Amino acid sequence: MLKMSTLFLRTLRDDPADAEVASHRLLVRAGYIRRIAAGIYSWLPLGVLTLRNIENVVRQEMDQAGFQEVHFPALLPREAYEITHRWKEYGPSLFRLQDRKGGDYLLGPTHEEMFTLMVKSEYSSYKDLPLSIYQIQTKYRDEARPRSGIIRGREFVMKDSYSFDFDDAGLEESYQKHRDAYISCFNRLGMKYNIVKAVAGAMGGSKSEEFLAPCATGEDTYVLCPACGYAANVEAMQTKVAPGNAQGVPAMEELDTPHTPTIDSLVAVMNANFGGGYTASDTLKNIMLVADGKAISVLVPGDREVDLKRLQENLSGVHELRVFEEADFAQYPALVKGYIGPQDALKSGITLYADPRVAPGTSWISGANKKDRHARFVLNGRDFIPDAYVEAAEVRTGDSCPECGTDVIIDRAIEIGHIFQLGRKYSQALNLTVLDSNGKSQTVTMGSYGIGVSRAVAAIAEQTCDELGLNWPKELAPAKVHIVATGKDDLPFDTALKLGSDLEAMGISVMLDDRRDASAGVKFKDAELIGNPIIVVVGRGLVDGNVEVRIRATGVKNDVALTQATSSIAALLS
């Protein structure tokens, strides 16, 4: 039984000055966590209990699915990460250090390499597969900007699993098993979440989905279709646009459009001099970018910005993407800044990408590649032909769902899980093979699957808290029942202690506020702040043989006969 008289806990009456988001404020105020450095937190007893509860739900669901728990060190030698090039590619986000002999080490940000090597050292036959193993472990990433308390830290607890299969069908099956296990896990954690299509991105591999907990303070943006349930990360959102009707589009016509280097100025001149009714969406924006040192050209409708992150994710294999600077324009004198059009792209030799919204058969107003000149009736398929189509334009609320055409909404969320089909990227690099039934070596295919365990503490706090404080689902709370003894006589304190013992004997965890010197008001405030699901007040009702049972989440209060208290509480918790 957790007794408040001795519990290592100090709640704060004021919000800490360095906390802004609700989960951070409340976890600090209620005495769950304390900041040590940017993105690095200590856990006090209440925090540890909650974290362990979440860990245990995750662990049970993993074990239930047949995955086996292992454990790796956080402190790792450089070698394996050198082979997969991540020692370099991970860049400044990797915590690196040296031992006394000058050997390079790192604090593991994720463990694909180590898991792959572990399987390699134990297994060598197709008969050993499939295999899924996992760990719950502390990860280290030197984030450029840790934020929102425990939501994005530099040290955090993650459950990471890895699946090993003989072939693609096996990988698909392991992936689905993980997906199902994640669904039951997050359901049990009492979270609201969406499963969202994601781009595999830097991890390589093909298929990837994120589990996103909707939350205004979340840092991920995703697209949701209210009609069919289609959900995608904004990077992964697909644009479906019908081809334009090229029939009857007049010949391309060059126009005199002085002083129109921007879309707004161009639309104004078009409406003034070349007939009305033009809007930015009739124009074509031709953005010059540098992708890993190579100039590329991207077409998007004039009323949309290029979403660099989205573009980069969809240009597979591009590590660095930036917009043209003056120096880049200097290298391409044929490009007239502000008046670039795709008509001469072939001549320039620069790869021309088009957003799907710039569909075949659509015609546009674009730059004419001459200062103060534009062209209209510039037809895709006749006047220019993109080398490739790529998702580049920003996604907006009201865009069409690629599945059903309904207007999508855009929402924010916290990423609490991510599942990947990695394929053979790591097994190939580290040479993880097994013998097939013909005695031939075959490269194993892998998946990786993560749950942000410490982040889930914050995400659940965000989703469940109210103006009074935290408000945990019963399986996660530090204790299921929070008993408050009030008054100055011994009776309520003795009764409360007895009630607590009875509940614990029934397997119900109890926190008992047995402080003799704290006023009732303080105890009520603390109970609400700490957020255990059931609060029982043992005090003045005792003269009638009653205790008061409150539901933290709803605020509902009921007097219950002391003799019925344990059974009534047990019923509430079942």
Partner RNA sequence: CGGGGCGUAGCGUAGUGGCUAGCGCGCCUGCUUUGGGAGCAGGAGACCGGGAGUUCGAAUCUCCCCGCCCCGACCA
Structure tokens at 268: 């104004």
- Give how far the C-alpha of residue 384 lies from the chain's centroid of Cα atoms, to the nearest Å: 39
Instruction: Evaluate whether 335 touches 329 at the Cβ level (below 8 Å).
Output: yes
**Which of residues 3 and 35 has its CB atom nearest to RNA in the complex?**
35
Complete DSSP assignment for 136-191: EEEEE---SS-BTTTTB-SEEEEEEEEEEESSHHHHHHHHHHHHHHHHHHHHHTT-
Least distance from C-beta 527 to RNA, angstroms? 8
The residue range among 42-50, 243-251, 331-339, 446-454 that interacts with RNA, by the rule CB under 7 A, is 446-454
Q: What is the DSSP letter of 225?
A: -
Give bridge partners of residue 388 from the DSSP assignment: 353
Distance CA 185, CA 134 (A): 15
Q: Which of 187, 519, 558, 567 binds RNA (CB under 7 A)?
A: 519
Q: Is 11 in the site for RNA (CB under 7 A)?
A: yes
Q: Is 460 in the site for RNA (CB under 7 A)?
A: no
Distance CA 173, CA 563 (A): 52
Q: Which of 496, 430, 503, 465 is nearest to 113 (CA)?
A: 430
- How would you classify the pairing of strands 373-379 and 388-389? unpaired
Q: Going residue by residue from 365 to 404, which x/- string records binding to RNA, judged by CB under 7 A?
A: ----------------------------------------
Least distance from C-beta 205 to RNA, angstroms? 9
Q: Which of 304, 369, 365 is nearest to 339 (CA)?
A: 369
Q: Is 543 in the site for RNA (CB under 7 A)?
A: no
The residue range among 20-28, 120-128, 346-354, 470-478 that interacts with RNA, by the rule CB under 7 A, is 20-28
> Which residues ranging from 417 to 436 are in contact with RNA (CB under 7 A)?
418, 420
For 203, 323, 443, the CA distances from 264, given in Å and listed in that order, are 40, 20, 55
Continuous H helices in 315-396? 326-331, 345-348
- How would you classify the pairing of strands 351-354 and 294-301? parallel
The residue range among 175-183, 252-260, 290-298, 531-539 that interacts with RNA, by the rule CB under 7 A, is 531-539
Q: Is 467 in the site for RNA (CB under 7 A)?
A: no
Helix or strand (DSSP H, E) at 309: helix 308-314
Question: Given the structure tokens 């009875």, which residue do they identify?
Answer: 502
> Which residues ranging from 196 to 235 are in contact with RNA (CB under 7 A)?
201-203, 219
**Which of residues 285 and 515 has its CB atom nearest to RNA in the complex?**
515
The residue range among 257-265, 306-314, 400-408, 432-440 that interacts with RNA, by the rule CB under 7 A, is 306-314
The angle subtended at Cα 308 by Cα 306 and Cα 311, nearest 5°, is: 90
Q: Is 528 in the site for RNA (CB under 7 A)?
A: yes
Q: Is 488 in the site for RNA (CB under 7 A)?
A: yes
Q: Is 155 in the site for RNA (CB under 7 A)?
A: no
Q: Is 332 in the site for RNA (CB under 7 A)?
A: no
Q: Which of 38, 334, 404, 435 binds RNA (CB under 7 A)?
A: 38
Q: Is 152 in the site for RNA (CB under 7 A)?
A: yes
Least distance from C-beta 238 to RNA, angstroms? 20
Instruction: Evaluate whether 452 touches 460 at the Cβ level (below 8 Å).
Output: no
Question: Given the structure tokens 């070698």, which residue do they identify?
Answer: 79
Q: Which of 451, 449, 416, 454 is nearest to 203 (CA)?
A: 449
Q: Which of 450, 478, 500, 533 binds RNA (CB under 7 A)?
A: 450
Instruction: Evaluate whether 25 touches 19 at the Cβ level (below 8 Å).
Output: yes
The residue range among 19-27, 223-231, 366-374, 457-465 that interacts with RNA, by the rule CB under 7 A, is 19-27
Distance CA 500, CA 304 (A): 62
Alpha-carbon torsion, ordered 60, 151, 220, 111, to 10 deg: -60
Q: Which of 294, 337, 371, 516 binds RNA (CB under 7 A)?
A: 516
Peptide bond into 130 cis (omega under 30): yes
Q: Which of 52, 192, 207, 309 binds RNA (CB under 7 A)?
A: 309
**Which of residues 284 and 296 has its CB atom nearest to RNA in the complex?**
296
Centre a 10 Å sphere on the Cβ of residue 345 and count the other Cβ atoms it contains.
20
Q: Which of 58, 150, 158, 225 binds RNA (CB under 7 A)?
A: 158
**Which of residues 193 and 364 has its CB atom nearest to RNA in the complex?**
193
Instruction: Evaluate whether 48 touches 474 at the Cβ level (below 8 Å).
Output: no
Q: Which of 48, 290, 409, 520 binds RNA (CB under 7 A)?
A: 520
The residue range among 124-132, 265-273, 483-491, 561-569 that interacts with RNA, by the rule CB under 7 A, is 483-491
Give bridge partners of residue 510 from the DSSP assignment: 481
The residue range among 16-24, 185-193, 292-300, 369-377 that interacts with RNA, by the rule CB under 7 A, is 16-24
Distance CA 537, CA 547 (A): 6
Q: Is 47 in the site for RNA (CB under 7 A)?
A: no
Q: Is 541 in the site for RNA (CB under 7 A)?
A: yes
- The footprint of RNA (CB under 7 A) covers 10-21, 24, 29, 35, 37-39, 93, 109-110, 139, 141, 143-149, 152, 158, 160, 201-203, 219, 308-309, 312, 418, 420, 448, 450, 452, 468, 486-488, 516-522, 524-526, 528-529, 537-541, 548, 550, 557
